[in-house]
Amino acid sequence: MTIDNATQIEFWNGETGRNWVTHDALMEAMLQPLGESVMDTLAPQPGEHVLDIGCGCGHTSLSLADRVGAKGSVEGVDISAPMLAVASQLAAERNAEHASIQFHEADAQTHTFDPERYDVVFSRFGVMFFEDPVAAFANIRGALRKSGRLAFCCWQPRAVNPFMTVPAMAALELLPAPPEMPPRTPGPFAFEEADYIMEILTSAGFGSVAVTPLQQPLTFGRGLSLTDIVERLVQIGPIAQMVREASEDLQQPVRDKVIDAVAPFYTEDAGMTLDGQFWQVTARR
Ligand SMILES: C[S@@+](CC[C@H](N)C(=O)[O-])C[C@H]1O[C@@H](n2cnc3c(N)ncnc32)[C@H](O)[C@@H]1O
């Protein structure tokens, strides 16, 4: 099954995009260590030119800009106007001694990039939504210089990610399971199979492709009460859609179930910490 990019554009410009903006600080606190770890592997050097695919609210672009310094540049590409508005605002608040940062509202699968412009391409969870991933990565590859390198992270299967399964199993005690998406459907878990990632990047022309497991605990809602954390989880977390579609009389009982399930993973200081299993993918043009 596929989901076309026009549907993704609608999705990321609708409630989902607006929710990411509302919960930007929470999401960033959770995802930042993972992005930094992939950047450490990619190791952008001072003066390099970087492309950040699916840059969202732009935090990774800013961090990449710190790494490449005043002589480098970073361009972030995303299809979500509300998320890019946050990114532009963050970049505007920075002072001028950093690398130049630009954001483009564009579909990375079809956007006409300047050929061979970038030294490195990075993405934190922004490359699993393409309708035609081989075409998208071939397009992105054309934007890389001859010696250029790529690094991104993506989710391993939902079933090995307690961040996904612990709240979901609790909610499913009261709610019907949502329809299962066939494997490889564009979405967060499209790249759950390492072999499929290999196949896509190789078909797109990349070399030296490496898909490495990356384990990183996810800390969600530092400083929030358990009740507030669950309230955020039903707005932007793994059970958001399920709970949104549930009847009024089940809203509180579902929340109570989820509170009980995540309580063992909660501390007042750290919020909720659940393990996450990801792929770190690196390749060369
Ligand atoms: C899970 S979010 C990750 C956002 C950001 N990289 C982060 O880690 O906070 C996925 C992002 O990919 C973007 N995206 C999805 N399809 C895209 C496409 N075809 N071209 C560019 N961006 C895309 C979405 O708009 C969204 O911002």
pLDDT, one tens digit per residue, over 75-122 is 999 999 999 999 999 999 887 667 799 999 999 999 999 999 999 999
Indicate the pLDDT class of residue 270, thresholds 50, 70 and 90. Answer: very high
Query: Which range of residues forms the domain containing residue 44?
Result: 5-161+181-221+276-284
Percent of the chain surpassing pLDDT 90: 89
What pTM was estimated for this model as a whole? Answer: 0.96
Dihedral of alpha carbons 259, 261, 264, 269, sign: negative
Here the CATH number for the domain that contains residue 27 is 3.40.50.150
Nearest CA to ligand 1 atom 5: 56
| Predicted local distance difference test score (pLDDT) of residue 271 | 96
Q: Is residue 103 part of a domain?
A: yes
Ligand 1 centroid, distance to 123 Cα (angstroms): 9
| Predicted local distance difference test score (pLDDT) of residue 99 | 74
Ligand 1 centroid, distance to 248 Cα (angstroms): 31
| Predicted local distance difference test score (pLDDT) of residue 241 | 87
Per-residue burial over 243-261, b = 16 or more CB atoms within 10 Å of its CB, e = otherwise: beebeeeeeeebbebbbeb
| Predicted local distance difference test score (pLDDT) of residue 96 | 64
Indicate the pLDDT class of residue 180, thresholds 50, 70 and 90. Answer: confident
Which of 8, 50, 191 is the best mutation target for the ligand 1 pocket, counting ligand atoms within 8 Å of the beta carbon and taking the most?
Answer: 8
pLDDT, one tens digit per residue, over 191-225 is 999 999 999 999 999 999 999 999 999 999 999 99
Which of 105, 125, 132 is the best mutation target for the ligand 1 pocket, counting ligand atoms within 8 Å of the beta carbon and taking the most?
Answer: 125
- Whether the predicted pLDDT of 51 surpasses 70: yes
Which of 12, 30, 124 is the best mutation target for the ligand 1 pocket, counting ligand atoms within 8 Å of the beta carbon and taking the most?
Answer: 12
Q: Is residue 111 part of a domain?
A: yes
Ligand 1 centroid, distance to 272 Cα (angstroms): 24
Residue 87: count other Cβ atoms within 10 Å of its Cβ.
Answer: 25
Question: How far is the C-alpha of 231 from the C-alpha of 163, rounded, in Å?
Answer: 15
Number of domains into which the chain is organized: 1
Nearest 10 degrees: CA dihedral of 24, 30, 32, 37?
-160
Q: Is residue 193 part of a domain?
A: yes
How confident is the prediction for the chain on average, in pLDDT? Answer: 95
Ligand 1 centroid, distance to 147 Cα (angstroms): 25
Q: Is residue 248 part of a domain?
A: no
Q: Is residue 199 part of a domain?
A: yes
Q: Is residue 260 part of a domain?
A: no
Q: Is residue 237 part of a domain?
A: no
| Predicted local distance difference test score (pLDDT) of residue 25 | 95
Indicate the pLDDT class of residue 275, thresholds 50, 70 and 90. Answer: very high
Nearest CA to ligand 1 atom 14: 54
Ligand 1 centroid, distance to 78 Cα (angstroms): 6
Ligand 1 centroid, distance to 200 Cα (angstroms): 18
- For 27-38, what is the mean pLDDT? 97
Residues lining ligand 1, Cβ inside 6 A = 5, 8, 12, 31, 54-56, 60, 77-80, 83, 107-109, 124-126, 129-130
Q: Is residue 266 part of a domain?
A: no
